Chains A and B, each alone.
Chain A
């Protein structure tokens, strides 16, 4: 059981979320009200650029600190592009590009992206399902320029954005890059799979946080809610469901740790990410279903905050590769190693 952390950065994030990320803030954000106070507090704390070194305009925190902040952000269902700005900052820093202030996001989020930088220096291509594109000041795009991969920093104001929302009611827009002139372009040693893998590790932290939250809410609800003359926590069927939920939360948490480790290395460990996104995605589905079952009709209302976490879980498990995509990828890696190497595949790195 974990009641406290010994991490200043995590404590700072937690305090900001406690003060400025109320359930009402999250509902308002879904209606299109930008949570200005929340974003400004985050920006002032330097958290969104945690992964950018000082010399490129960031806070220069460790990878582990950034991932820990994302877990807390997942717990609070933070309705601003904190994760996306962190990712964009990381991507820009990887290419050595100085990072602007303000909210950012990344593209593409699919491994078959096709953004290109032409001979005239202008961008071409589209990206679908870009989270928070409409709220971003800048986008960091992984693009192809001739035979090389580059990161392009582009101002969002220059881009036609077609608005859509995720299952969680968060911006999930389609972006056209046609003819836009990036403010910076630099080569990078990262391919689209690496970017998608990194995004998966980011989402896994948020998912682990959201799962911790729904476990807490579900246990508390079971203790508070009385039916048939006793708290429903006293019914064995409810206890066993919650025990299953706790196991899924623990598995998702361990998986998220593994993915974060694999993405904190210079070379992103795609096998570990694949393992984690498959397991974490399954946990999200199983876990959300149990949390709703325990909460009954109350948890199905808009008024109750349970959906802040569960709808995000359903959205996040689909983003940056869902369970099927990563399982196929992983299965092919395993097949390539062969049956007699399966065990060493599983124990590699340890």
Chain B
């Protein structure tokens, strides 16, 4: 038996290559208009920007046209995503819905909800967050205890979600809620996915400031919040069956290896045209990792396009990718030529800014969306070890 995971080469179709040029031109325009500073880590949320991206047809690209989608390929979507991320475009207002929430609704949502919600997402009008973690349920996702209790015409929700990124901006949440106790046979049983309108009475969102001083995380408290029956997504108690393919989408994309890329860009700027041997080697090593990861990530997009569910391959990409992007800032820090008082460098601020941002966010990269330990467990299962 061959235990190796396959990442077959992908040749991008001509339309995807054309798409790349279109996206680059659009991003140049946006940057010139002052929407964002390319390469800057901050300012990543802009509803106006997301609407313009939607108007270009770059949200919900792979979805059916009848739900506002564009029936494009996964590979075209991949190109758009990586160009946006590489430029550090402010995609936060639509990226979660485009990547995860929309596909879940498309696959498991009720028809009425699909027709109502998906076109709005595709137009860049809706921001989503994901309600998974709770105070006592982190990596152990299926330990969630926030309850949804059946009531007349819907469900009443009580409990607390935590570490919810972007909940303070979000119009909707896809929440994982407990509808039955777990069973002896299946500890994953009893959880159900719901669409939650964040304006529902009984929902309170409180900020949790992270170590960068920024506000991304939130605590979301539910106190008898009412969800109509139409907001039920998929089968009651059976969310665990729906989770697998969602993770393949979530875990293999460019966002899992590109987060600290601006620090590398600024190192290259600082290195100049004729870097020392040591600096050239250091840059070369990082670029080799990055380019190989991109190739693997693209290969997973190809598997998705072919209708496969590459969840283990996605875990491999995320494990390698997040380890790379997490280690990168420290490599950059130690490789950078030291400039003292005698050699002021006009790019100092840019370099310092990118490195500071990358260093501070590094710890979260191997935690969010499935910790390194969880991912390695998934890979080990894929190898037949557990």
Please list the residues of chain A having a beta carbon within 8 angstroms of any beta carbon in chain B. 1-3, 211-212, 215-216, 219, 222-223, 233-234, 236, 238-240, 242-244, 246-247, 249-251, 253-255, 257-258, 261, 274-276, 278-279, 282, 323-324, 326-332, 334-336, 338-340, 342-343, 345-347, 350
Which of B190-198, B231-239, B358-366, B377-385 touches A? Answer: B377-385
Task: Return 20 A-B CB contacts under 8 Å, by A number.
Answer: A2-B6, A240-B376, A242-B380, A243-B376, A250-B4, A261-B9, A275-B292, A278-B288, A323-B285, A327-B285, A331-B287, A332-B275, A335-B271, A336-B273, A340-B269, A343-B261, A343-B265, A347-B20, A347-B82, A350-B11
Interface residues of B in 258-310 (CB under 8 A from A): 261, 264-266, 268-269, 271-275, 277, 279-285, 287-296, 298-299
Minimum CB–CB distance for B115 against chain A, Å: 36
Indicate if B243 sits at the interface (CB-CB under 8 A).
Answer: no
Indicate if B108 sits at the interface (CB-CB under 8 A).
Answer: no
In the bound complex, do residue B4 and residue A247 qualify as a contact, i.e. CB atoms below 8 Å apart?
no
In the bound complex, do residue B288 and residue A254 qualify as a contact, i.e. CB atoms below 8 Å apart?
no
In the bound complex, do residue B383 and residue A243 qualify as a contact, i.e. CB atoms below 8 Å apart?
yes
Q: Give the chain A neighbours of B268 by CB distance below 8 A.
A: 334-335, 338-339, 342
Indicate if B325 sits at the interface (CB-CB under 8 A).
Answer: no
Indicate if B241 sits at the interface (CB-CB under 8 A).
Answer: no
Smallest Cβ-Cβ distance to B258: which chain A residue:
A343
A219 to B277, CA, bound (A): 39
Residue from B1, B4, B376 within 8 A of A253 (CB atoms): B4
Residue from B265, B290, B298, B385 within 8 A of A233 (CB atoms): B385
Q: Give the chain B neighbours of A324 by CB distance below 8 A.
A: 281
In the bound complex, do residue B292 and residue A242 qualify as a contact, i.e. CB atoms below 8 Å apart?
no
In the bound complex, do residue A350 and residue B17 qualify as a contact, i.e. CB atoms below 8 Å apart?
yes
In the bound complex, do residue A331 and residue B86 qualify as a contact, i.e. CB atoms below 8 Å apart?
no
Q: Give the chain A neighbours of B6 by CB distance below 8 A.
A: 1-2, 253
Residue from the set A253, A261, A342 with the largest chain B CB neighbour count within 10 Å = A342
Residue from A3, A323, A339 within 8 A of B266 (CB atoms): A339
Q: Give the chain A neighbours of B86 by CB distance below 8 A.
A: 343
Residue from A261, A275, A331, A339 within 8 A of B291 (CB atoms): A275
Smallest Cβ-Cβ distance to B5: which chain A residue:
A250
Q: Give the chain B neighbours of A340 by CB distance below 8 A.
A: 265, 269
Q: Give the chain B neighbours of A345 by CB distance below 8 A.
A: 287
Q: Give the chain A neighbours of B7 by CB distance below 8 A.
A: 250, 253-254, 257
Beyond the given pairs A246-B383, A331-B275, 19 more chain A to chain B contacts, judged by CB atoms under 8 angstroms and listed by A's residue number, are: A1-B5, A219-B3, A219-B383, A219-B385, A240-B377, A240-B380, A243-B377, A250-B316, A254-B9, A254-B296, A254-B299, A257-B295, A275-B287, A279-B291, A282-B288, A327-B288, A330-B288, A331-B282, A343-B86
Indicate if B386 sits at the interface (CB-CB under 8 A).
Answer: yes
In the bound complex, do residue B265 and residue A346 qualify as a contact, i.e. CB atoms below 8 Å apart?
no
In the bound complex, do residue A247 and residue B386 qualify as a contact, i.e. CB atoms below 8 Å apart?
no
A59 to B344, CA, bound (A): 62
Indicate if B373 sits at the interface (CB-CB under 8 A).
Answer: yes
Indicate if B320 sits at the interface (CB-CB under 8 A).
Answer: yes
Q: Give the chain B neighbours of A236 by CB distance below 8 A.
A: 377
A342 to B265, CA, bound (A): 7
Indicate if B319 sits at the interface (CB-CB under 8 A).
Answer: yes
A245 to B288, CA, bound (A): 18
Minimum CB–CB distance for B313 against chain A, Å: 8
Question: Contacts A2-B6, A323-B285 given: A247-B291 contact, CB under 8 Å?
Answer: no
In the bound complex, do residue A275 and residue B288 qualify as a contact, i.e. CB atoms below 8 Å apart?
yes
Residue from the set B7, B291, B384 with the largest chain A CB neighbour count within 10 Å = B291
Smallest Cβ-Cβ distance to A339: which chain B residue:
B269
Q: Give the chain A neighbours of B379 by CB distance below 8 A.
A: 243, 246-247
Indicate if B2 sits at the interface (CB-CB under 8 A).
Answer: yes
In the bound complex, do residue B292 and residue A258 qualify as a contact, i.e. CB atoms below 8 Å apart?
yes
A216 to B285, CA, bound (A): 27
A211 to B279, CA, bound (A): 29
Question: Contacts A239-B386, A278-B285 given: A2-B4 contact, CB under 8 Å?
Answer: yes
Indicate if B12 sits at the interface (CB-CB under 8 A).
Answer: yes
Q: Give the chain B neighbours of A338 by CB distance below 8 A.
A: 268-269, 273
A315 to B230, CA, bound (A): 63
Question: Contacts A240-B376, A242-B383 given: A274-B288 contact, CB under 8 Å?
Answer: yes
Q: Give the chain A neighbours of B5 by CB distance below 8 A.
A: 1, 246, 249-250
